[in-house]
Structure 1
Amino acid sequence: MADPSTYRPKPGEIPESPGVYRFRDPHGRVIYVGKAINLRSRLSSYFQNITALHPRTQQMVTTASSVEWTVVANEVESLALEYSWIKEYDPRFNVKYRDDKSYPYLAVTMGEEVPRVQVMRGAKRKGTRYFGPYSHAWAIRETVDLLLRVFPIRSCSSGVYKRAAQSGRPCLLGYIDKCAAPCVGRISVEDHRDLADDFCDFMAGNTGSAVSRLEAQMKAAAAELDFERAARLRDDLGALRKVVEKNAVVLPDGTDVDVFAMASDDLEASVQVFHVRGGRVRGQRGWVTERVEDLLPGELVERLLEQVYGDIAASPDADGAERAVPREIIVPTVPDNVAQIEVWLSEIRGAKVRVRAAQRGDKRALAETVESNAKAALALHKTRRAGDLTARSHALADLQEHLGLTESPLRIECYDISHTQGTEQVGSMVVFEDGLPRKSEYRHFVVRGPDGTGARDDTEAMNEVLTRRFRRYLAEPAGSPTQEEVDGGTPRAADGADGAVAGDEAAVDGAARVTPSGPLDLSPGEAGASAPKKRFAYPPNLVVVDGGAPQVAAAQSALDALGIVDVALVGLAKRLEEVWVPGEEFPLVLPRTSDGLFLLQRLRDEAHRFAITHHRKRRAKGMTRSALDSVPGLGPTRQAALLKAFGSVRAIRGASVAEIAQVPGIGPKMAATVAEALAPEADRQADVART
C-alpha cells in the first residue's frame, strides 16, 4: 500500500488549465483516468487527508504510485481524450457500464456490393446500417420474414450466394419470391441496392410512403381487373401494416429521441434506454455498473453518454452517426457541463443535439416508464449477483488465509498444457481479476521445446510456458522488444465459445504522446505512431498450474531461473483436488465447502477448456492442409489466387503450365513448379523412367 505523499507533485508544478490525468500503479498500469477544468484543483483533492476520501478513492490513491497529465485546449477536447484513454487502458477504478445482456440488431450490409440483411451482435462494422437493438433474435427474424415479401433483398450467406451464382440456380428463397435473386441476374446489382435502400428507409421510420405506394398499386391493379396482382399487393400491404403495428406509437410522428433512466444504490447502478425513431420505440437497451468512483448522478450520466456515443465518434461513417445520435436526448439528471457534452455530440452527429431532463408531457411519461424498467433490472441484477459477490469475497479471503499470502490475490493466472500423444503441444494462460475472468488477458502458447519439435513431457512444457511468460514480464519494463515471437504467448484473437478477444493491439484513438504539462497534439502522424500497446507484463499475485508436485516443481524452477520471488505459486491436482505448494512434502487439503477451492477449480477448468479449444483448432488445421501447401515457394496469397482462378485443386492439376502461368502473381517458373508438385504419382514415376 503506497503513501500518496510519496508521489504527490510539487506545489506549482500542476497547471491550472483543462486537461486529462492518469494514475498508474507500481507496474506502470493505468488504474484511473479523469478529466478536469482545472487540473491543479482536481489533483490536489486526491492528496488531502486520506481519511476524508471516499473508500474507493482511498483504495485508488494508495494503489497508485504516480500521476501524470496532459493539457488540452478546452473541455470538449478533454471529454474526447478521457473517453479514448478509458477505452485504451481499461482502468480498473473507472466506472464502466456493462450490457446487462447481449442485444441483437437487424443489420443491412450496405458496404457490400450486394447488400445483405441479417442478425448481428457485438461490435458495429463500418458500412453496415443497424436497426434495434431488439430483445430477441426471433423478433428480428419475424420482422424480416414479413418484410421480404415487399422488399425481397438478399439474406443468404456469402457461400450460398457464390454457389448459386456458379450453378445458375437461386436458393429456396429465390424460388418462393422472398429474394430478388441478384445471384442469377433476375435483378441487377444497382436495382437490388435501390431495393435495400427502400428497406432501410422503411426500418428507419419512413413507413408512410411505402404503405401509400402499395395502396396505390393495389387500387390500380384492381381497376385494370388484374385481381391476382391486386391480391398479392393486398397481402404485401398487410405484412407492412403488421410490422408497423409491432412498434407502439409513444410520441408524435417524426420524433427522434433517446430516453435514458437510472436506478442506483451505494454500490451499483442500472441504466435503461428506449430508442425512439419516428415516434415509435425502435429498440431498448440496458447497462449495469459498479460504482467504483465517488460520482454524483450527473457525473454518472456524463460517463454513460461518453460510453454510449463514444464509439460513434471514432467511426468515419458520418451518416451512421447522424442516425445513431438523435437530435434530442432525455436524461434523468442533467450534467453540470451539459453545454460541452452537447457540443461534443453535435460534432459527432453533424447537427444540433440537445441534452435535457423531461419535466412534463408525453416525454416525461415515457421517462417514467424507462425508469421503472431500470429499477426492475437493478433488482433482478442484485438478486442474481448477491450470492456471487459474497462468494468472490470469501474465495479471495480463503486463498489469502490458507496459502499464507500477505495480500488478497486480486489477479490470478492459471496455466494448463494440452496435446495429443505429445504432438501439437499448446499451453494456455487464463486470468481472473477480483474473482472474475478477464478474457481480454487470456493467452495461448505453442510449445516449441529445446530443439523446436516440442517438449518431452508436461513438466518441460510447463517450464517453457512459465519461462516465456515471465521473461516477457521482466523484459517489457526495461524497454525490450515486445514481439510475441521473442518469448511471449499469442494474444487471444477470437473464440466463438466465449467471445474472448485479445487486448494486445495498439489502440489508435487519436491520443498523442503524453507529457506532464505539454499541450495535446492530435496530428495524424503522431496519433498512430505513439499509441502505446497494452502490456503483457502486468504480474499476477498468484500463479496456479494444472497438476501436482512435478508440475509445481517445473513452474518453480522457471520462476527461480528468472529471479521471480514476489509471485506465489500453487498447483491443483485433479485426482483429490489437492493444493500443492512448492517445497512442501505433502499437499494442502482445503475444505470441500471452501469458496477458495471452488475458485481454484473454476480457474483450472477454464484453463483446461481454453487449452483444449486451441489444441483442437491446431489439430483440425493440420488435418485439413491443402495439397498446395506442399508446393515449394507457394504462399497463402498465391494459393488463394490459384483457387480463385481454377476453383479447386483438381482443376489446377488438370491445367497446363501455360494456363497456370496466366494467373496473376504466378510466373512461368512457379507454374512449372506447381504443375510438377501436383502431377499424379504415376506421371512423375514415368518421367523418372524416361530419364
Structure 2
Amino acid sequence: MKDRLGSIIYVGKARDLRKRMSSYFMASKKTRADLKTRALIDTIADFEFHEVRNETEALLLEGKLIKDYRPRYNIQFRDDKRFLLVKVKLSDPWPRFQMTRMKKDDGSRYFGPFAHSGALKTTLEWLNRRLGLRTCRPRVPGETEYKHCHADVIRNCSAPCVDRISKEEYLEKVEEACRILEGKGRREIFDELETEMQKAAGKLNFERAALLRDVVENLRKTLSPTRQFTRGRGVPTTVKPLEDLADLGEALGLEGPPKVMECFDISNVSSNHIVASMVRFTEGRPDNQNYRRYRIRTVEGQDDFASMAEVVRRRYSRILLENAGAVPEADESQEDVIEIQRRLAKEGRARIVLPDLVIVDGGKGQLSSAFKELKRIGLHDLPVIGLAKQHEEIFRPGRSEPLLIPHDRGALKLLQRIRDEAHRFANGYNELLYRRRMKESLLDDCPAISPKKKQLLLSKFGSVARIRKATAEELSAIPGISEKGAEAILEWLG
C-alpha cells in the first residue's frame, strides 16, 4: 500500500487479495477498527501487487519487502532478524551442516532461506541421523572428541573422526544431503517415508508411524520450492532508476542524468546528539558502501543551517583532500576545481568521485548554508538543490521561486527516495547514540566515584534511585568509600 507521494506504508499478504483488500474499505470494518488501522485506511492512495507461487514464497517476500522499505504501519519483520539458511563448508575435512542467518563469502555452500524454522530444525536433525552425518563443533574431530561423544553409540553418527567410515563414503553422504536440501528426488523420499509409515501403522507401531508423519510434514514445509528474492531481481517493481535519472536531469536542466547523487539530512532530536547523514545513489540505486554519518562538532544547540554548513564543508573538503595526491604540483592548466575532479574521475585516478548532484533536505535556509560552503572551497558550479518536505518544493541557488515537479513523475519519486533514505540513516544513527547514552549512568559524571566504586554501588543497591534513598553510613560501608565521599555522592545525586 502506498500514500499519495508513492511511499510504501504497508506490506501484507493474502491468499484471496480481492477479499483482503475489500475488507479495508467496508464501512462497518472501518468503524470497528483501531486508530492505527483507520489512519492506514485514510492514507492509502495506491496499491502494488506481486503474485507468488505458494505461501512460503509469500512469507519470504513479505519479510524482505518490510526489511527493505520499513513501512510505517508494519510491526512484524522490522527487526534485523533474517530467515534461516543452512550452510556446509565442503572444503572442511569432515563437513557438517549448520544453521545461520547471515550469508557470507566464506567458500561455504548455502541453502535457503527457509520460512519455517521449526520444520527446518527437525528436518536437519532427521537428515543427520538418516545419513550418519556429524553434528559436533570441532573442525577436525579426532579420538579425543570421540571419547566424550555418544552419537556413534546411539547410531546417530557414522563416526568419521575414528575412521569408522572412509572419507569418500562420508563425502558421498554429504552430497546426498545437499541434493535433498536442493529438493532433488523429493518425490522418491516422500514415497519411501509414507511406505514406512504405512508399514509401521500396519504393525500397530503407532509411535513410529506418528514420528514418520511429522518428518514428512516438516520435509514438505522445508523443501517447498521457493525463489530467492534479492534486491532488484525476481520482484517486479514500478521503480525505473535509469528512466527516473533521465527525467530528473531534464527537469533540473542539467547537462545529463546525475549518475552520482549525494543527499544530506540533519537529525537533532535533542541538543545532546546532533547528527547528520550523507547517502549516495549511483545509477539511481542506493550505494550503501558510500554512506557516511557525522556527529556535529562546531554547533551548539539546535541550528539546522549551521549544522548543514558544517557537514557539507567536511564532506567536500575531505574529497578534495583525498584527491589532492593525484594532482601534480606543477599542474598549470586553466581548469577549475570541478573540471580537475571530473578529469581525475574519468582517468580513474580520483579516490572519491565528486557527485553530479548534491541534495540537501530542507528549504532555502539549508540550501543557502550548503551553497556558501561549496563556494568557499571552490565548488560553486557543483549542482546543488534543496528539497522542502512539506510541499515537495525544489529550491535552487539564485532563484527565489521553487520548482514544482508533478508527483507522478519519476524525477520527483527519485528525489523522494534518496531524501527518505538519508532521513532513515540519520535517525538510525541518532537512535543508536541515544541508546548508548541511556546505558550510561548519572554516576559516570560524579567526580567522587571511580568506575570500580560505581560497579560496587550498583551491585549493592541495584539502581541510582536506591542509592539516593540510602544514608551516608550505608554508602560508607562499601569498601573504598569514606563518609566524606558518601556525603559528596549524595549531594551530587541531589
| Aligned equivalent of 2:314 | 468
Secondary structure class of the residue paired with 2:176: coil
Residues in 2 aligned to 1:395 and 1:242: alpha-carbon distance in whole angstroms: 47
Contact 2:364 2:386 in 1 (8 A): yes
Secondary structure class of the residue paired with 2:399: coil
**1:601 and 2:416 correspond:** yes
Residues in 2 aligned to 1:439 and 1:121: alpha-carbon distance in whole angstroms: 18
Report the residue type matching 1:137 in the other structure.
Answer: A
- TM-superposed deviation, 1:436: 1.6
**1:459 and 2:305 correspond:** yes
In structure 2, do the counterparts of structure 1 residues 397 and 196 end up closer, same or farther at CA, with 3 Å as the change threshold?
Answer: farther
Residues in 2 aligned to 1:550 and 1:243: alpha-carbon distance in whole angstroms: 60
**1:191 and 2:149 correspond:** yes
- TM-superposed deviation, 1:472: 1.1
Residues in 2 aligned to 1:449 and 1:404: alpha-carbon distance in whole angstroms: 35
In structure 2, do the counterparts of structure 1 residues 188 and 597 end up closer, same or farther at CA, with 3 Å as the change threshold?
Answer: same
- TM-superposed deviation, 1:596: 1.3
Secondary structure class of the residue paired with 2:268: strand
In structure 2, do the counterparts of structure 1 residues 146 and 433 end up closer, same or farther at CA, with 3 Å as the change threshold?
Answer: closer
Report the residue type matching 1:145 in the other structure.
Answer: T
- TM-superposed deviation, 1:477: 1.4
- Per residue, is there more strand in 1 or in 2? 1
Secondary structure class of the residue paired with 2:307: helix
Residues in 2 aligned to 1:394 and 1:283: alpha-carbon distance in whole angstroms: 34
**1:205 and 2:199 correspond:** no
Residues in 2 aligned to 1:238 and 1:427: alpha-carbon distance in whole angstroms: 56
| Aligned equivalent of 2:112 | 133
**1:388 and 2:239 correspond:** yes
In structure 2, do the counterparts of structure 1 residues 581 and 137 end up closer, same or farther at CA, with 3 Å as the change threshold?
Answer: same
- TM-superposed deviation, 1:415: 0.4
- TM-superposed deviation, 1:203: 6.7
| Aligned equivalent of 1:105 | 85
Secondary structure class of the residue paired with 1:417: strand
In structure 2, do the counterparts of structure 1 residues 396 and 684 end up closer, same or farther at CA, with 3 Å as the change threshold?
Answer: same
Q: Deviations over 1:606-639 (max 9, x none)?
A: 111111111111111101125785699x99xxx8
How many residue pairs get aligned? The number is 321
Contact 1:146 1:239 in 2 (8 A): no
- TM-superposed deviation, 1:289: 11
Matches within 5 A, 1:424-573: 424-449=273-298, 454=300, 457-479=303-325, 537-573=352-388
Residues in 1 aligned to 2:288 and 2:489: alpha-carbon distance in whole angstroms: 56
Contact 2:266 2:275 in 1 (8 A): yes
Residues in 1 aligned to 2:89 and 2:460: alpha-carbon distance in whole angstroms: 38
| Aligned equivalent of 2:104 | 123
Provide the alpha-carbon RMSD of the alignment. 5.4
Q: Deviations over 1:525-549 (max 9, x none)?
A: xxxxxxx9x9872210000001111
- TM-superposed deviation, 1:150: 9.0
**1:406 and 2:377 correspond:** no
In structure 2, do the counterparts of structure 1 residues 620 and 536 end up closer, same or farther at CA, with 3 Å as the change threshold?
Answer: farther
Residues in 1 aligned to 2:269 and 2:250: alpha-carbon distance in whole angstroms: 38
Residues in 1 aligned to 2:151 and 2:457: alpha-carbon distance in whole angstroms: 34
**Structure 1 residues without counterparts, runs of 5 or longer:** 1-101, 153-178, 181-186, 248-280, 291-376, 481-531, 643-647, 656-673
Matches within 5 A, 1:169-318: 190-191=148-149, 205=176, 236=211
In structure 2, do the counterparts of structure 1 residues 683 and 577 end up closer, same or farther at CA, with 3 Å as the change threshold?
Answer: same
| Aligned equivalent of 1:143 | 120
Residues in 2 aligned to 1:192 and 1:479: alpha-carbon distance in whole angstroms: 64
In structure 2, do the counterparts of structure 1 residues 688 and 460 end up closer, same or farther at CA, with 3 Å as the change threshold?
Answer: closer
What TM-score, normalized to structure 1? 0.38
Secondary structure class of the residue paired with 1:479: helix
Q: Deviations over 1:218-270 (max 9, x none)?
A: 9xxx9xxxx99x876665566557667889xxxxxxxxxxxxxxxxxxxxxxx
**1:684 and 2:478 correspond:** no
Residues in 2 aligned to 1:423 and 1:189: alpha-carbon distance in whole angstroms: 58
Contact 1:151 1:199 in 2 (8 A): no
Report the residue type matching 1:439 in the other structure.
Answer: N
Residues in 2 aligned to 1:196 and 1:607: alpha-carbon distance in whole angstroms: 52
Percentage of matched positions with identical amino acids: 27
Contact 2:119 2:221 in 1 (8 A): no
Residues in 1 aligned to 2:254 and 2:126: alpha-carbon distance in whole angstroms: 66
- Pick from 589, 599, 619 the counterpart of residue 404 of structure 2: 589
**Structure 2 residues without counterparts, runs of 5 or longer:** 1-81, 130-134, 137-144, 161-169, 179-188, 327-347, 462-477
Q: Deviations over 1:378-404 (max 9, x none)?
A: xx66xx25x433xx3443233222322
What TM-score, normalized to structure 2? 0.51
- TM-superposed deviation, 1:479: 3.5
- Pick from 388, 391, 394 the counterpart of residue 576 of structure 1: 391
In structure 2, do the counterparts of structure 1 residues 203 and 650 end up closer, same or farther at CA, with 3 Å as the change threshold?
Answer: farther
Contact 2:249 2:258 in 1 (8 A): yes
In structure 2, do the counterparts of structure 1 residues 675 and 199 end up closer, same or farther at CA, with 3 Å as the change threshold?
Answer: farther
Contact 1:431 1:439 in 2 (8 A): yes
Secondary structure class of the residue paired with 1:423: coil
Report the residue type matching 1:132 in the other structure.
Answer: F
Residues in 2 aligned to 1:286 and 1:576: alpha-carbon distance in whole angstroms: 38
Residues in 2 aligned to 1:627 and 1:193: alpha-carbon distance in whole angstroms: 53
Q: Deviations over 1:462-502 (max 9, x none)?
A: 0110011101110111239xxxxxxxxxxxxxxxxxxxxxx
